[in-house]
Structure 1
Amino acid sequence: MASTDRFREKARKTVNPYGDGKTSVKIVETIKEFLMEDKINLMKKFYDIVR
């Protein structure tokens, strides 16, 4: 089945459901942008629960 011309042609036209394979690069770039431009504050907040 996998060796038939019909199957190979169908496989060539199939869209990858997981994207273009560059998702992790895009995520890293977005995180860098947020950190470099101070768009996000990652400082942990502490609360005094003892009164």
Structure 2
Amino acid sequence: MPGNCLKLIVGLGNPGPQHDSNRHNAGAIFLHNLCKSYGGDLRGESKFFGE
């Protein structure tokens, strides 16, 4: 991304391995793949996980 432009991309998903391939996790799956393609990683922050 050119310059100091800040972007926010949100990918929602359901927790738990039983939902890994669920179509409702498409946003989270896309974000994970996008991050991998740019050499980044995703870290979970417990304060952002709603239960």
More RCO (CA 8 Å, sep 6+): 2
TM > 0.5 fold call: no
TM-score by length of structure 1 reads 0.32
